Amino acid sequence: MKIQIGIFFGGKSVEHEVSVITAAQTAAAMDAAKYELIPIYITKDNEMYTGAELFDVVKYKDLPGLLSRSQRILLMREKGKIQLLRYPAKLFAQPFIAQLDLAFPIVHGTNVEDGSLQGYFQLHGLPYIGSDVGASACGMDKWVTKCLLQGAGLPVLPGYCFQSSYYYGDPQRIITKLEELYGYPLMVKPVNLGSSVGISAAHDPEELKESIELAASFSDRILAEPMLTNMREINCAVMGDSDYTEASACEEPLSTGEILSYQDKYQGGGKSRAAAAKSSGGGKGMGSSLRKLPADLDIEQEEEIKILAQKAFLALNCNGVIRVDFLLDQEENQIYINEVNTIPGSLAFYLWEAAGKPFRQMTEELVQLALKRQRAQERLIWSNEVNILSGMQWGTKGVKQ
Amino acid sequence: MFSVVLFVLLGAFVYFFWGGFRQSVHMLQLNSYYPERFLQWLKGQQRKEAIYVMVAMVITSLSLRYGSMSLYLYLIFHAVIFFVVALIRKKQPDKKPLVYTWRLKRLMVTAALICIAFILGLGVLFRATFWWELPFLLAFLNLMVHTIVIIANFFNGPIEKRIAKGFTDDAKRILAGHPGLKIIGVTGSYGKTSTKHLISQLLSLDYQVLATPESYNTPMGVVRTIREKLSATHQVFIVEMGAKKPGDIKEICDIVQPHMGVISSIGEMHLDTFHNLDNIIRTKFELAEAVAKEGLVFLNYDNEYIRKQKLSQPVVRYGLGKAGEDNQQLDLWAENIVSGPKGSQFDLCFSDGRIIACQTKLLGKLNVLNIVAAAAVATRLGVEPSRLAQAVSRLEPVPHRLQLLPAGPSYQIIDDAYNSNPEGSRQALETLASFPGYKVIITPGMVELGDQEEEMNRRLGRHAARYCDFIIIVGQNRSPAIMDGARRAGYNESNIYVADHIHDALEKADQLSRDLTEEEGPMTVLLENDLPDNFLDNGQGKQTRRK
């Protein structure tokens, strides 16, 4: 009897394609002797499909053809078990396709990674890998992340968050406010998008306007923070749950020709919308992009980053594997937590391999963490087993107990 | 027209017949379809109503058919009798509901076929006067309802056996497809359900655990758990194994083939079917025999019968230990036990010298022993001992086993209703004694103890007199022995109340709590021994844990 795992990927997100690749990588890494892996591809239209070819990235070149060879499905809870059913049902045919023991969401970005998909599982009572609804929602929202980390006493850059409608009501008011608060240069980000999408730097009022309007085209809420001019980016992954966490090796992402690097994005370039959208792959730290691994850090710095990463994991109440991105201010020699990815690109497997944990073992541990959380939840009281309404007497003068 | 009359008569009869029939199959189901146990229940039954109807039918039949009544009126008249008797007969609420399983449905179909065959057969015999005999035959059928059910059960026996074998083979097949699953058998004369629950809770720290639910401990209960509950994610399967006669444990072991076994206790339980203690010991150790050579057997070394056994497998010996001694023969034990109304504190001691201070909200010393057993299993399966203290402090009580429940605004209940051993009763009373305020016991006394029953109940009365401010006895059967015991201990008889049933008893307790003065209170009620399991489910919205 193999454990039936539904790998959910895709979704209505700017990081749709990255998710397809991560899912295929993960499926290839998992132990086929232990797990029956069922691909569940969510289209950009939020429809769900399953089929044998869906883990084959090459097949996505012809998406309509691929979908026509795949089967659209429904998730259904039946007698305490979660079933995949064929949709639309065929006459005289069993709609049942498979039963799921566990869901593995491998999705990036808004509409999926932000707790939406996790909520879908939660509602079905289907255990799933990774952070729960709350932690996923917090991790996706850069402003909430910043507030939570700050509340936990962890180092973050100051920031100012505002609604785009507030900006359009009186653009000058925001610009003056930001100039008073931080001065230039500034970083402007959409609050709830995958790491680098829609992010740009501003060195003067003109650029600031452009940056805000770029960010506003991706999100209704915008975050501005002072920009560090002499700094490095360091990423570190964390795995575990509230009982136990461990940190991976640290990496330093480097620029490449094709994909926009940290420097390109944050120091002048990459302001056009097209360029920003293109950078979505790079920001997720794909397994194939260029990096220095392990990052060139002195022992104390590395130790501090690893501890901060685990503290951030706990502050957001994460589960499974996350990647924490740091900014290293070279001038002040100060470390800041920049953001948290609750489902990192490639699940940050390369950071774990560098730390001596193979991808396969990592997926094994993720499965156990998900089951452990399910056990912990079952201990809690969720509902009255007895229907209280059945014990009431319904009199003429209303409800009496 | 005749068919309408016939229809009315048969309809009324089915309505009339259904009451006895339903009760009969229900009792057979509750007695696990064992005809011997069913007959035992039947002995105590009076079938007055059926006999009255039968007699009435004979008299009226004879008087009416030789009068000038038409057949139509004659049949209608009897239909009315059936209907009225069915309407006015006493209906008792079920303690445990009847479950319409496939087996029960098959039984009902067979029984119905027997009824039809009976009527048709006699129809051939009485060909000429059949319609005139019919009401009488139907009444006779009703009188014979239990016999019919037993015959149906007998006919279905071979089919049921084959179906059961199919289920068992299916369960074995499922287990064979689950090679990594660790299977742990738990048996013992008492304490096995609690031990199973606690092992399950501690192992859940690191493993996905499935345990046979509630007190399922028969081969079919185990088979059902495997077929309905076991999923690919499970890593450990804990099987409670009950026995009423030699071979019972082996039968379950043949299905599950345990890797580990826990023998929690051996005592003189079910002596009526085991006949002697040697049979009990041999049966419990069927589990040890079934455990693989490289497996592990966990033994409660506090139990003298268990201590005497020699095993070929590696053994883990656990117990409560002896204060002031070096406990060298134990691998894991508890020391410095302090039990009170808030639970117990104790030191969990390992033979390598490690000591872990634990506290639990579970009541009573017996639960400490059960926790030691669970800790022994958990650590042998790789749970880090340093994590045990926290896990033990979070252990939840097992339902109806020294489970503390809030009851009214001014009192609480210690629910020990599933306890069925004399030693456990004494310890429950000691636990009650540790509570402050006014103490009450509600008990129907102890049952199924054979010759010793009366003496045990007298002893229960004596202990209750020592610890309780008020004694409520449920039912008349065992009350004389309990009262006698209390009286000999010099107990004031005005503080004893004999209740008709459990609801009466709880009402009395409620009233006592209302009459208490502030100095006397708060009140604690101990529910002890073999009470029906649904006595608290009266729509109070009791919060229970999701399973």
Highest mean predicted confidence (pLDDT) among A315-324, B41-50, B347-356, B443-452:
A315-324
Compute the mean pLDDT over every residue in chain B, rounded to the nearest whole number.
85
Residue A77 has pLDDT above 60, yes or no: yes
Phi, psi of B220, deg, nearest 5: -70, -35
Proportion of chain B above pLDDT 70, given as a percent: 92
B537 lies within 8 A of chain A by CB: yes
Residue of A nearest to B177 (CA): A1
Quick check: A267 pLDDT over 70? no
Decide: B145 and B85 in contact? Cβ < 8 Å: no
Chain A, residues 81-120, CB within 8 A of chain B, namely: 101-102
Question: Cβ contacts (< 8 Å) between A386 and chain B: which residues?
Answer: 537, 539-542, 544
Of A47-56, B35-44, B180-189, the poorest mean pLDDT is in B35-44
**B256–chain A nearest CA distance, Å:** 16
Give the chain B residue nearest A80 (alpha carbons).
B229
CATH code for the structural domain at B179-393: 3.40.1190.10
Per-range mean pLDDT, top range of B62-71, B118-127, B305-314: B305-314
Architecture of domain A3-128 in this structure: 3-Layer(aba) Sandwich (3.40)
Residue B60 has pLDDT above 90, yes or no: no
For the record, the structure tokens of B343 come out as 């639970």
Whether A263 has a pLDDT exceeding 60, the answer reads no
Task: Measure in Å the smallest separation between the Cα of B445 and chain A Cα atoms.
Answer: 29
Contact check, Cβ <8 Å, A381/B541: no
A244 Cβ under 8 Å from any chain B Cβ:
no
pLDDT confidence bin for B46, thresholds 50/70/90: low
The nearest CA of chain A is from the CA of B542 a distance in Å of 7
Tens-place pLDDT, residues A290-331: 788 899 999 999 999 999 999 999 999 999 999 999 999 999
Where does the pLDDT of residue B67 fall: very low under 50, low under 70, confident under 90, or very high at 90 and above?
low
Instruction: Tell me the pLDDT tens digit for each residue of A333-388.
Output: 999 999 999 999 899 999 999 999 999 999 999 999 999 999 888 876 655 554 55
Q: What is the C-alpha separation between B330 and B351, in angstroms, rounded?
A: 7
In terms of average pLDDT, the best of A219-228, B76-85, B112-121 is A219-228
Strand partners, A187: A201, A225
Give the residue among B180, B258, B174, B211 at the shortest CA–CA distance from A35.
Answer: B180
A45 or B516, higher pLDDT: A45
pLDDT at A391 exceeding the cut of 70: no
CA–CA dist B338, B317 (Å, integer) = 22
A112 pLDDT tier (thresholds 50, 70, 90)? confident
Domains B179-393 and B403-528 share a fold: no
Give mean pLDDT, residues B433-459.
85
pLDDT score of A274: 38
Task: Name the minimum distance, in Å, from the CA of B417 to any CA of chain A.
Answer: 20
Which residues of chain B lie closer than 8 angstroms to A384, CB-CB? 541-544
pLDDT one-digit tens code per residue, B105-154: 999 999 999 999 988 888 888 777 778 778 888 888 888 888 999 999 99
B208 vs A370: CA distance, rounded Å = 11
pLDDT at B467: 93
Q: Return all residues near A19 (Cβ < 8 A) that are at least 6 apart.
A: A9, A10, A11, A13, A106, A107, A108, A109, A112
Quick one: fold of B403-528? Protein-Tyrosine Phosphatase; Chain A (3.90.190)
pLDDT surpasses 60 at B535: no
Position A269 confidence tier, pLDDT thresholds 50, 70, 90: very low
Cα–Cα dist A103/A3, whole Å: 11
For residues B203-213, give the mean pLDDT. Answer: 92
Q: Cα distance from B385 to chain A (closest Cα, Å)? A: 15
Question: What is d(CA A352, CA A348) in angstroms, rounded to the nearest whole number?
Answer: 7
Taking an 8 Å cut-off on Cβ atoms, the answer to whether A386 and B208 are in contact is no
List, in sequence order, every residue forming a beta bridge with B346; answer none if it has no partner. B358
Q: Which pLDDT score is estimated for A289?
A: 60
Residue to substitute from A385, A392, A393, A401, interface B, most B β-carbons within 10 A:
A385
**What does the pLDDT average to over B459-468?**
93
Averaged confidence pLDDT in chain A: 86
Q: In the structure, what pLDDT confidence band is assigned to residue B50 with cuts at 50, 70 and 90?
A: confident
Q: Which residues contact B243 (CB under 8 A, 6 or more apart)?
A: B187, B249, B270, B280, B283, B284
Instruction: Pick A378's closest partner by Cβ from B541, B542, B546.
Output: B546
Residue B515, pLDDT above cutoff 50? yes
Chain A residues close to B178, C-beta within 8 Å: 1
Task: Look at A193 and B354; give whichever has higher pLDDT.
Answer: B354
Residue of chain A minimizing CA distance to B200: A375
- Between B435 and A267, the higher pLDDT residue: B435
Mean pLDDT, residues B480-502 = 90
Task: Kindly state the tokens that stand for B239.
Answer: 């099987």
- Per-residue confidence (pLDDT) for residue B533, from 0 to 100: 39
* Helices and strands of chain B, counted as H and E runs: 20, 15
Q: Which residue of B has its CA nearest to A2?
A: B232
* DSSP for residue B523: E
What is the chain A residue with the closest CA to B204?
A375
Nearest Cβ partner of B232 from A101, A385, A388?
A101
Q: Do B233 and A102 touch (CB under 8 A)?
A: yes
Pick the closest to residue A322 from A307, A336, A309 (CA basis).
A309
Which segment of A125-139, A174-188, B11-25, B166-180 scores lowest on mean pLDDT? B11-25
Size of the A and B interface in Cβ pairs below 8 Å: 49
Q: State whether residue B382 sits within 8 Å of chain A by CB.
A: no
pLDDT of residue B30: 78
From A371, A382, A388, residue closest to B541, measured CB to CB: A388
Give the gap in angstroms from C-alpha A314 to the nearest C-alpha of chain B: 19
Q: Spell out which residues of chain A touch residue B174, defining contact as CB-CB under 8 Å.
A: 1
For B264-332, the three-class secondary structure string (H helix, E strand, C coil) is CCCCCCCHHHHCCHHHHHHHHCHHHHHCCCCCEEEEECCCHHHHCCCCCCCEEEEECCCCCCCCCCCCE
Give the lowest-confidence range in A188-197, A219-228, B439-448: A188-197
For residue B2, the model assigns a pLDDT of 81
> Is A377 in CB contact (< 8 Å) with chain B?
no
ipTM value, please give it.
0.76
Quote the pLDDT of residue A360.
Answer: 97
Interface of B with A in 233-292 (CB under 8 A): 233
pLDDT in tens, B228-255: 889 999 999 999 998 888 999 999 999 9
Count Cα atoms within 13 angstroms, Cβ side, for B180: 13
- Domain positions in chain B: 2-158, 179-393, 403-528
Distance from the A371 Cα atom to the nearest Cα atom in chain B, whole angstroms:
7
Q: Taking CB atoms and an 8 Å limit, are B539 and A102 in contact across chains?
A: no
Strands laid side by side in the A3-10 sheet:
A96-100, A81-86, A71-78, A48-50, A35-42, A3-10, A102-106
pLDDT tens for each residue of B337-374: 999 899 999 999 999 889 999 999 999 989 999 999 99
Mind telling me how many Å the CA of A25 is from chain B's nearest CA? Answer: 23
CA dihedral in degrees (B85, B89, B95, B101; nearest 10)?
A: 10
How does residue B534 score in pLDDT terms, banded at 50, 70 and 90?
A: very low
pLDDT > 70 in chain A, percent: 85
Q: Which residues of A touch B544 (CB under 8 A)?
A: 384-386
Say if the Cβ atoms of A3 and B537 lie within 8 Å: no
The whole-angstrom distance between B109's CA and the closest CA on chain A is 28
Strands (E), B385-514: 403-406, 411-416, 438-443, 470-474, 496-499
